[in-house]
Amino acid sequence: MTSPASPDAPVQSYKLRRGRMGVVRQEALAEHLGRYEVPAGTGVLDLAALFGDANPVVLEIGSGMGDATLAMARDAPDVNVLAAEVHTPGIGALLQGLVEHGVTNVRLLEGDGRTLLTERIAPGSLAGVRVYFPDPWPKARHHKRRLIGPGFVELVADRLAPGGTLHCATDWEPYAEQMVEVIGASGRFTLDPDRSRPAWRPVTRFERRGLALGHVVNDVLATVRPTARP
């Protein structure tokens, strides 16, 4: 993993999980990925050229199996979505859905969304960053691996346009408290005190699993302040 230059960057914030893919998803990857994928390279992305329009762009880090991503993209066709996921089965599932429903406002990256944010997204160019149900790393000795830390929050604040939003969701309450603390401490965001799920965010697979276990889900939304950028 290529790490950004930030205090909490050197550790990997996700665990690789293997999974099988059915024939349909394999065929979707083989036949259609070229149309939707973020092109390889090291330069800053021209987002308008990537999507073919000047609509606002939201980055989703960790799109999972893509159900929520697909639903939100269909519901808001005037918002472009960069979906980053490290697990190929998830990319295949989302791609299959995009093709089946004719959704064109999503681009896919099979890889680390934090690296994409660090190396290929220009400052002030995103309307939003979404991080839904990241690995909570519940053991105290692993807390340093959590994605939502000071360096990440500063990076997001830099990449968001004024008024852009950081939206995190977790079913691990101690992690939610850490998110609120870290985002608030940055001084660059205004936190929404309401932590209930917005009606426009679909319930995800991970969320259903957590709810079945009796977990409480927190949605942490924060808006970058217009005067926050240097």
pLDDT per position as a tens digit, 42-98:
899 999 999 999 999 999 999 999 999 999 999 999 999 999 999 889 999 999 999
* Residue 1 covered by a domain: no
Calculate the CA 198 to chain-centre distance: 16
Q: Has residue 12 been placed in a domain?
A: no
Is residue 143 domain-resident? yes
Helix, coil or strand: residue 127: strand
Q: Are 113 and 59 in contact (CB under 8 A)?
A: yes
Q: Is residue 142 part of a domain?
A: yes
Of 201, 220, 229, which Cα lies nearest the Cα of 148?
Answer: 220
Q: Is residue 31 part of a domain?
A: yes
Output the pLDDT for position 122. 98
Predicted confidence at residue 20, as pLDDT, reads: 62
> Rounded CA gap, 135 and 143, in Å?
10
CA atoms within 13 A on the CB side of 222: 30
Q: Does residue 2 belong to any structural domain of this protein?
A: no
Name the DSSP letter for residue 141: G
Query: Which pLDDT does position 10 carry in this prediction?
Result: 43
Of the candidates 8, 135, 158, 171, the residue annotated as catalytic is 135
Would residue 63 count as lying in a domain?
yes
Beta bridge partners of 189: 224
Which stretches in the chain have pLDDT values below 50? 1-10, 13-14, 16, 18, 228-230
Residue 112 catalytic? no
Q: How many domains does the chain have?
A: 1
Answer yes or no: is 66 within a domain: yes
Domain span including residue 53: 23-38+47-224
Residue 40 phi/psi, 5° resolution? -65, 155
